[in-house]
Structure 1
Amino acid sequence: MPIAPNRRLVAVVLLVPAVVALALWAFAWPAARMAPRELPVGVVGSGPAADQLQGRLEERDGAFEIHRYDSEAAARTAIEHRSVYGAVAVTAKGPALLTASAASPVVAQLLHDAVTAQAPDGAAVPVTDVVAAPATDPRGSVLGASILPLAIAGVAAGAAVTMLGLRGGRAVAALLGVAALVGMVSAALTDSWLGVLTGHWWSEAGAFGLTVLAIGATVAGLAALIGTAGVGLGSLLMVLVGNPFSGVTSAPELLPRPVGTIGQWLPPGAGGSLLRSVAFFDGNAAGRALLTLILWAVLGLTAVLIGGRRKARKADSAAAPERHPALTG
């Protein structure tokens, strides 16, 4: 048997298990280590009871990042602006909990369990869901499941541009067109049809589309610079790393460090955060995610244009007739 086929056989045998191991690590490890890590939470009140409550929360070293508020109204505003995930108010009847299941149903349940465990035996803890998840998707399952299809769509767009040989302006136009159409179709499905997103329709479509554009432009840009291997590299980065590190099914602050932070600087995580902000929080706290997606999209499209010009110059050079020095007798 020739040497080259033997090498390809060994490469396949070793590469597939390596990819599977990477996928299991990326998806299973963060899920197995889920716990609050500097989770922003508010405490309402200024007396000894509020101080005592804060002290009990801080006993879980590094679990919560405590913000103090003088009034329940101030805490509600902070929740609506996505400064905190929830708040505990100290009242004459005991603690009362303010949550935002739209920000993360997992965190809302975690806070409920934590506050209930500290309440006097048998005491009921009243819960007010300040920004509730829609009744059509109370667990946030649809939003959590939407990021993987967006990542796949972006990778498919970048791969298609590469495999079809589109370069320069044509490649950019194709990526922009795909992103725009995917954004509108996604908003039509999740908002108009299923009713699981409740924000401004065009803002949701823009969040969907920009996420796909950032991913697709990155994949196509890598391929334009380093060849078809860039498609594989971009796929690994966006699907096997960006998707499980996004924290969209729980919260970035529940993932192991620095996974949650890394995830928010990758398009899937930034896209999930942007979509949640525009769908449920009137665009509050959308700035960083929006900037992250724009940066990835601009860098990717720039790489596409640079790679296209480089290939065009190589093609022109190859087509140019060779010039030979004149022969003298």
Structure 2
Amino acid sequence: MPAATTPPAAGRRTLAVLLLIPVVAALALSIFAWPAARLAPRDLPVGVAGPAAAADAVARGLERHEGAFEIHRYADAGAARAAIEDRDVYGAVVVTPGGTELLTASAASPVVAGLLREAVTAQAPAGAPVRVTDVVAAPAGDPRGAVLGASLLPLALVGAATGAATVLLGLRGAGAVATLVGAAALAGLVGAALADSWLGALTGDWWAEAGVLGLTVLAIGAAFAGLATLLGKPGFGLGAALTILFGNAFSGMSSAPELLPTGVGALGQWLPPGAGGSALRSVSAFEGAAAGRPLLVLSLWAVAGLAATAFGARRRPAEAVPAAAQAPVPVG
């Protein structure tokens, strides 16, 4: 019979848990709270249009905020509006004989739209009001983007749960792949039904939204399953860190990637939650503009995860064969 755990050993394990929990809590809170506490524009793409002299003056005013804005010049309001609709810039300042107009896109980020309104209004001459036009407005069902921002964590949890269940239930090969793909497709359909049909937080093509939601869940679930299949228990921890912890904290969905600390927003766009959120914004409000890169990122995670799951499923049975069974049988 195995020896009973001695009181000193039990005490050491209890102490280890008591010391580890505060560290984990501090780490998790820091990862989520630190980016939120350091929100500020960093190379935020903004357009300027109008007569050269007037546009230069506006650009110089924005450039006083060192490193805050990345200025793009456009010939007129039509070109600036098209750039916003293509998601090349978050907004644009248009100088006309009748005054200054600020074009925004609250569907891209209500936080950025408000920030631009404050920045442009503050530098406008006294007594010269700035007319604001929301070129791509946020849906009436989600004017502050709260629903869209809050949707990432449930997607990450669903994907992680699917990946974990696939591994823990011992599914292998084609069965594991079919489970991951099927569960993701169903999650995408349910997500679109809730966020679009019921809440009105998404207003684009219904099937495109369902596809992006499903691909996001698949990328997360496949990555989770693939890491757990290849690495075992450490793979569960790494998968949770990438898809739930860092993936959500660095996604920029509640603000914008360009408002997060330098490097954090860019990293978040290479993780499934950030890529999924960006793709969902594109298909929901911008008719798919700028969706190519995030969809590619999601596809790479999904393919790599599915391949790792299938590869690990083929390799494990071979590794599990006892050495005695592989030894040559003596003759005679």
Equivalent in 54, 58, 66 of residue 53 of structure 1: 58
Alignment of 1:1-329 (within 5 A): 1=6, 4-316=9-321, 320=325, 323-326=328-331
Q: Secondary structure at the match of 1:325?
A: coil
Q: What is the alpha-carbon distance in structure 2 between the residues aligned to residue 14 and residue 164 of structure 1?
A: 32
Residues 234-267 of structure 1: CA deviation (Å, up to 9, x unaligned):
1122111110100011000000011000000000
TM-score, with length taken from structure 1 = 0.95
3-state SS in 2 of match to 1:30:
helix
Residue type at the aligned position of 2:55 = A
User: Match for 2:13: what amino acid?
Assistant: R
Please report how far the alpha carbon of residue 7 of structure 1 lies from its aligned counterpart in structure 2 after TM superposition.
4.5
Per-residue CA deviations over 1:63-97 (Å, capped at 9, x if unaligned) read 00000011100001000000000000112233210
| Count of residue pairs brought into register by the alignment | 327
Please state whether the residue corresponding to 2:119 is helix, strand or coil: helix
5+ residue gaps, structure 2, are: 1-5
Q: CA deviation at 1:2?
A: 5.3
Superposition deviation, residue 320 in structure 1 = 4.4
Deviation at 1:315, TM superposition (A): 3.8
Contact 2:38–2:261 (CA under 8 A) maintained in structure 1: yes
TM-score normalised per structure 2: 0.95
Identity across matched positions, percent: 65
Question: Secondary structure of the equivalent of 1:256?
Answer: coil
Distance verdict in 2 for CA 1:169–1:14, change over 3 Å: farther
Give 1:8 shift.
3.0
Cα distance change on mapping 1:5 and 1:162 into 2, 3 Å:
farther
Is this contact kept in 1: 2:51–2:95, CA < 8 A?
no
Using the TM superposition, give the Cα deviation of residue 303 of structure 1 relative to its aligned residue in structure 2, in angstroms.
Answer: 0.6
Aligned counterparts of 2:13 and 2:7: Cα–Cα separation in 1: 10
Secondary structure of 2:151's aligned partner: helix
Cα separation, partners in 2 of 1:296 and 1:319, compared to 1, 3 Å: farther
Instruction: Give CA-to-partner distance per residue, 1:87-139, whole Å, 9 cap, x none.
Output: 00112233210000000000000000001101122432111110000111111
* Contact map agreement 2:140 2:200 (CA 8 A) in 1: no
User: Which consecutive unaligned segments of at least 5 residues does structure 1 have?
Assistant: none
Q: Once structures 1 and 2 are overlaid, which stretch shifts more, 1-10 or 144-153?
A: 1-10
Q: Is 1:94–1:119's contact at 8 Å kept on the other side of the alignment?
A: no
Aligned to 2:54, the other structure's residue is in SS state: helix
Distance 2:116 2:123 in 1: 11
Give the distance between the partners of 1:272 and 1:219, measured in 2 at CA: 18
Does structure 2 retain, via aligned residues, the 8 Å contact 1:162–1:228? no
> In 2 relative to 1, CA 319–307 (structure 1 residues): closer, same or farther, beyond 3 Å?
farther
Q: Which amino acid aligns with 2:241?
A: L
Shifted more, 256-265 versus 93-102: the winner is 93-102
Q: 1:181 to 1:121 in 2, by over 3 A?
A: same
Amino acid at match of 1:133: A
Measure, in 2, the Cα distance between the counterparts of 1:321 and 1:24. 50
Contact kept? 1:158, 1:231, Cα under 8 Å: no
Closer, same or farther in 2 for the Cα pair 1:175/1:318, shift >3 Å?
A: farther
Q: Secondary structure at the match of 2:133?
A: strand
Distance in 1 separating the partners of 2:302 and 2:323:
32
Matching residue's letter, 2:187: V
- CA offsets 1:133-166 (integer angstroms, 9 cap, x no match): 0111111111011001001111111111111111
The AA in structure 2 aligned to 1:24 is L
Whole-angstrom distance in 2 between the partners of 1:286 and 1:263: 15
